[in-house]
Amino acid sequence: MENTIEDIKRLEEEFKACQRILTAIGDETRQHLLCIMLRGECRGNRVIDIAQKMNLSRPAVSHHMQILKDAGIVKARKESTCIYYYLDPEGSEISNLITLFCDVQEIMKNAPDRNDIND
């Protein structure tokens, strides 16, 4: 079955919708940050604690956390004077990303075989 123009247009829209999360998780520092958060406390992580674990400045960690927050991967909670960052348990943006990759995989399955094309 060949891919339709509608399939490709839908995929383009999905890529646009996932642009922030793709950018956020495409950075090696933010990938490491997410792994630290997964190992962290359930109640969340403070920037100062993350900074010490990553050997980064607090402003650098705050910058990366804001990008992850804007992408819908991380949420923040304020307690007194402390801000705790934690992974978004709802994960709607992650769900959109999973849908995108599933659609890419399906479209790739339906792409014509180009192995036998002569140059």
How does pLDDT run across 89-117, given as a tens digit for each residue?
787 788 899 999 999 998 888 777 777 66
Q: Is 26 helix (H, G, I), strand (E, B) or coil?
A: coil
Chosen CATH of 5-106 out of 1.10.10.10, 3.40.50.2300, 3.10.20.600, 3.50.50.60: 1.10.10.10
pLDDT value of position 90: 80
Q: Give the list of residues 6+ apart from residue 26 with CB closer than 8 angstroms, or none.
A: none
* pTM to 2 decimal places: 0.81
Residue 41, CA atoms < 13 Å, CB-side half-sphere: 8
Give the pLDDT of residue 32. 95
pLDDT at residue 97 in the model: 92
Determine the average pLDDT of the residues in 6-14: 92
- Condensed to tens digits (0 to 9), the pLDDT of residues 28-84 reads 999 999 999 888 777 899 999 999 988 899 999 999 999 999 999 999 999 999 999
Question: For position 118, what pLDDT does the model report?
Answer: 63
